[in-house]
């Protein structure tokens, strides 16, 4: 049951899958919305430029029907006049054509956006499969398209019938009007009818556009297995990443261990924790932690310290505080300056004793470690609630 649930497509498409689908030319598109916007653009174009177009066409028609004697004997003049008529015709239709071009370029931005995909241009011989074609004919998508076609037919027919019924008297009156005024009236009736019919398609487009977006999102839905597989491909195999992190930790540990022989002192717990400190008056503002570890790592630090004659000092509260609050490579916290200063003073005195002899220095006792910095001290819990560093 768990495997079946993992294979069910219940998760929305990831940004990567959406991008891959877009690269393949698969974006939501609504033909109804594109058709509606284009027809509305044509309606606007003819509404605002129609009078000027009709006037220019009347003038061009009257000019074209006039025939001068020179045209019959001068072919070059005839060609020049024909070319001028074609240019005038293009100029007349240029505003309407410009409006339609702008609408055709803007309409894809309403859903899906502009898209050019080279993969979509590649031949797909699978589309030539007749069985696949028969399957598409009886698919849910085909049923939806059939329903939209029937709805458009009914809607357009109903609007056309209502417009004709409303304008029936004006249509019948055209037969008794003069030719010039009747032609203008007929053009106006046709344009108004066209605008009303096209406006009815807005309802179809308003339903189809959200449906196409929902259908596209549903088609690209992913199963939980797909999500996990994509995460592996994007971020890498978790097992390989774990091995890389392990190798990085080993490299960092080896680098840290190489710093132990250069330390001045190793403060221990005595067995659980070990922190190696180093201080130089040249370039250091405060002692630094060059190595630290717990349990096995602490044992290795102590072993290296013994091999390289680094002083090992048992100071459990200080060791715990340093391990908890001092990061590797950083300076010690200011609250531990006094305690560490006592430790370093002992180390330097011990070196002088080993070199020059004399009275052996005593190990420091009762180091000044603030209670709130010792993880085992009850005051550390109060420090957590009061916002003090641990």
- Summarize pLDDT for 241-250 with one digit per residue, the tens: 777 778 877 8
Of the two residues 261 and 283, the one the predictor is more confident about is 261
Q: Indicate the pLDDT class of residue 217, thresholds 50, 70 and 90.
A: confident
**Helix ranges, 295-356 (H):** 296-307, 316-325, 337-356
CA angle 173, 174, 177 (to 5 degrees): 95
pLDDT at residue 383, rounded to an integer: 46
Q: Indicate the pLDDT class of residue 84, thresholds 50, 70 and 90.
A: confident
- Rounded average pLDDT over 367-376: 81
Of the two residues 359 and 352, the one the predictor is more confident about is 352
pLDDT at residue 132, rounded to an integer: 56
Phi, psi angle pair for 331, to nearest 5°: -75, 155
Question: Residue 311 and residue 279: Cα distance in Å, rounded?
Answer: 13
* Mean pLDDT score across all residues of the chain: 78
pLDDT at residue 384, rounded to an integer: 46
Question: β-strand 265-268 against 311-314: which pairing, if any?
Answer: parallel
Q: Indicate the pLDDT class of residue 189, thresholds 50, 70 and 90.
A: confident
Task: Please check whether residue 96 is in contact with residue 49, taking contact to mean a CB–CB distance below 8 angstroms.
Answer: yes
Q: Given the structure tokens 């209502």, which residue do they identify?
A: 162
Q: Indicate the pLDDT class of residue 109, thresholds 50, 70 and 90.
A: confident
Q: Please tell me the total number of residues recorded for the chain in this structure.
A: 390
DSSP, residue by residue, 20-59: HHHHTT-----HHHHHHHHHHHHHHHHHHHHHHHHHHHHH
Burial of 268 (0-12, 13-18, 19+ CB in 10 A): buried
Task: Please check whether residue 238 is in contact with residue 246, taking contact to mean a CB–CB distance below 8 angstroms.
Answer: no
- Rounded average pLDDT over 281-288: 81
Residue 361, token pair as written in the block:
């220095």
* In the predicted structure, residue 72 carries a pLDDT above the cut 70: no
pTM over 0.85: no
pLDDT at residue 1, rounded to an integer: 45
Highest mean pLDDT among 96-105, 193-202, 244-253, 368-377: 96-105
Residues in CB range of 291: below 8 A, 6 or more apart: 256, 257, 259, 260, 263, 274, 275, 276, 301, 328
Sheet holding 265-268, edge to edge: 288-294, 273-278, 265-268, 311-314
- Per-residue pLDDT reduced to its tens digit, 302-351: 888 888 888 888 888 888 888 888 888 888 888 888 888 888 888 888 88
Residues in CB range of 201: below 8 A, 6 or more apart: 32, 35, 36, 39, 152, 155, 156
* In the predicted structure, residue 134 carries a pLDDT above the cut 70: no
- Rounded average pLDDT over 20-28: 77
Question: Residue 260 and residue 312: Cα distance in Å, rounded?
Answer: 11
């Amino acid at each position: 049951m768990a495997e079946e649930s993992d294979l069910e497509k219940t998760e929305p498409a990831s940004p990567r899958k959406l991008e891959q689908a877009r690269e393949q030319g698969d974006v939501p598109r609504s033909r109804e919305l594109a058709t509606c916007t284009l027809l509305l653009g044509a309606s606007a174009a003819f509404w605002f430029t129609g009078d000027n177009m009709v006037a220019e066409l009347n003038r061009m028609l009257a000019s074209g029907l006039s025939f001068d004697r020179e045209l019959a004997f001068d072919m070059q003049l005839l060609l020049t006049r024909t070319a001028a008529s074609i240019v005038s015709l293009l100029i007349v239709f240029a505003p309407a054509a410009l409006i339609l071009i702008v609408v055709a370029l803007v309409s894809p931005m309403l859903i899906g956006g502009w898209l050019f995909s080279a993969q979509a241009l590649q031949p797909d011989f699978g589309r030539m499969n007749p069985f696949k074609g028969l399957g598409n004919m009886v698919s849910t998508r085909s049923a939806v398209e059939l329903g939209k076609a029937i709805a458009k037919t009914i809607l357009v027919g109903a609007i056309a019938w209502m417009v004709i019924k409303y304008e029936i008297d004006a249509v019948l009156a055209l037969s008794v009007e003069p030719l010039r005024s009747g032609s203008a009236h007929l053009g106006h009736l046709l344009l108004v009818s066209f605008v009303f019919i096209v406006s009815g398609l807005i309802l179809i487009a308003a339903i189809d556009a959200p449906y196409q977006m929902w259908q596209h999102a549903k088609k690209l839905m992913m199963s939980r297995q797909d999500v996990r597989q994509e995460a592996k491909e994007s971020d890498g195999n978790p097992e390989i990443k774990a091995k890389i992190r392990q190798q990085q930790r080993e490299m960092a540990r080896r680098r840290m261990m190489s710093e132990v022989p250069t330390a001045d002192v190793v403060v221990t717990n005595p067995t659980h924790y070990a922190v190696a400190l180093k201080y130089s008056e040249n370039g250091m503002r405060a002692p630094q932690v060059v190595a630290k570890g717990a349990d096995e790592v602490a044992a290795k630090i102590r072993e290296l310290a013994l091999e390289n004659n680094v002083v090992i000092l048992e100071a459990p509260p200080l060791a715990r505080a340093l391990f908890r609050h001092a990061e590797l490579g950083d300076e010690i916290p200011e609250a531990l300056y006094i305690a560490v200063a006592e430790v370093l003073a002992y180390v330097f005195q011990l070196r002088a004793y080993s070199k020059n002899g004399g009275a052996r220095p005593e190990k420091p006792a009762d180091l000044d470690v603030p209670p709130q910095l010792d993880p085992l001290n009850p005051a550390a819990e109060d420090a957590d609630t009061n916002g003090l560093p641990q």
